[in-house]
Structure 1
């Protein structure tokens, strides 16, 4: 997915959002958030520990990417292919390039060569990792414990070789963790919430398929927070998943971090391709601790 660096006009209307904030000391968290129950995965999905075959998309259309799948749901795009295996809490995967060989050359994107995401069908259990690559091109993502159910694993990267060198891609596969899966319902809508001493308020009303702006304001004890620390070149990282099919979107920050003193308001370029509920995950850092806020945003048509 090529990063869009345009700065859209600010959107005046405020959206009512659901916001659940949990502090954590690492980038991987399982089961920390709540979300609307998504439709059951289609048959043919792979069991944990087995190689993944090609899979399609389910749920509402969100604007087809190459190959006809909604954004982030294709296993192959532009000649690049993702193959993976879940073994316990480790996900090992490779990317094959247009020449049929494993890709080993990557360009850094937000300081990392690979961004890896995992999320359950009901949009709970969000994890964002930066895996390591072996010399043969095999990546290993050490996940936190996974609750039973259908999961989708995403690899977000910029190839450093091949016909698509320099173009951002998001490929994904599914995996099933055996056991009884209990769906986690979506919390009631709220414009802001206070957790761990931080009050987070979100404003903006993007429309499906139209560029808009979301702004996040962080305060503590009634005072604006201005000591946000740099995280992945910015003061916050924002990822979104569409309810029902788990289509992927990355909401790009409009400013880069220039020192340990970000906040209190963080603007994001928002371009969500489909109407309906999107689950947003905002990650920001203070005092060396990474915090993750889970937001449910209803996007109008």
Structure 2
């Protein structure tokens, strides 16, 4: 978010033991699977190019369609890296190939199913039916919002001002009906923003960053294709933060994009939500499929304000 069977028949006790070990191994692998993500209906961030906002596509609810049941932070996990516009008969379709620079923009799209018709039934995932992301090719621009859907299946995403350059837009969703029912998809398309585009080098890997007076520290060294623990700690004025508010049924949302191709991955903390006093430490299971630099965007809420922190993580 990567022996040949012996000819003589084994004893009943040996067979039972092997089945028990296989079951335990499957359960362990399942527990390390990452959950997929959400955004917020808030729209406040002081980071240049890191705007985010949303119009809710469905009323908020504590009931989600998480395939992992009631485990804290464990929700849907989409397969693939999100770089394709179509998968398993589902397609992200849009007439928007360019968007204006320096002003608010509207991106309209549909998701068509295997029958070629727009899909109108979507399951709730992290209290929303559609999660939409816009990311600049150099990973300096990031927006995360929830579009609204018309009766005919057309989604409308209201984007904040975009800098000139190439952008990729992602749609994350789960069909509620049809052949893809219950399956998680992340599809994307590219869009151009005209103007004099200047590519900004990705900041070097670092263990911490600051946003809105908060210091965000990430500890852990993920390895390619392996589930690995990450710990995110949040402090302000040198003191641990303990007033994180629930954010889409969790305390933080972590999205990662790979340098070069903008491959997509998203994770959630496994920390249990216990009211408006989360923090300072949040635990994640990270499984990033490709080596290299990943740009992490961590979103958390305090005092009704959504903050977005960004840092670069090196994956070996």
2:275 aligned to which of 259, 266, 270: 259
CA drift at 1:255: 3.0
Aligned position for 1:269: 285
Alignment of 1:99 with 2:115, yes or no, is yes
| CA deviation after TM superposition for structure 1 residue 189, in Å | 3.7
Tell me the alpha carbon deviations over residues 196-245 of structure 1, each in whole angstroms, 9 at most, x when there is no partner: 32121110111010011111001112221110011111100001111111
Aligned mate of 1:150, from 154, 166, 172: 166
Deviation at 1:124, TM superposition (A): 1.3
- Structure with the larger helix share: 2
Tell me if 1:199 matches 2:215.
Answer: yes
2:22 aligned partner: none
| Among candidates 72, 76, 87, match of residue 82 of structure 2 | 72
Distance 1:195 1:74, change over 3 A: closer
Secondary structure of the 2:170 match is: strand
Q: Which residue of 2 aligns with 1:211?
A: 227
Q: Distance in 1 between matches of 2:268 and 2:151?
A: 31
Aligned to 1:82: 92
Unaligned runs of 5+ in 2: 2-28, 34-41, 51-77
Cross-structure match for 2:140:
124
Match of 2:61 in 1: none
State the secondary structure of the residue aligned to 1:159. coil
Of 238, 244, 253, the residue aligned with 1:222 is: 238
Distance 1:284 1:244 in 2: 26
Could you tell me whether the CA contact under 8 Å between 2:218 and 2:232 is conserved in 1? Answer: yes
TM-score, structure 1 as length reference? 0.77
In structure 1, runs of 5+ residues without a counterpart are 9-24, 34-64
Corresponding position: 1:26 with 2:36: no
Residues in 1 aligned to 2:172 and 2:46: alpha-carbon distance in whole angstroms: 18
Is residue 85–residue 91 contact of structure 2 (8 Å, CA) maintained in 1?
A: yes
Structure whose alpha-carbon radius of gyration is higher: 2
- Larger relative contact order (Cα-Cα within 8 Å, sequence gap ≥ 6): 1
Distance 1:5 1:124, change over 3 A: farther
Question: How is 1:279-290 mapped onto 2 (pairs within 5 angstroms)?
Answer: 279-290=295-306
**TM-score, scaled to structure 2:** 0.74
Shift of 1:28: 7.8
Give the Cα–Cα distance (whole angstroms) in 1 for the partners of residues 111 and 141 of structure 2: 24
**Cα-Cα RMSD:** 2.1
Instruction: Determine the structure 1 residue equivalent to 2:264.
Output: 248
CA contact (8 A) 2:211 2:307 kept: no
Give the CA deviation at 1:287.
0.4
- Alignment of 1:296 with 2:312, yes or no, is yes
Distance 1:229 1:271 in 2: 26
Picking from 164, 181, 185, the partner of 2:180 is: 164
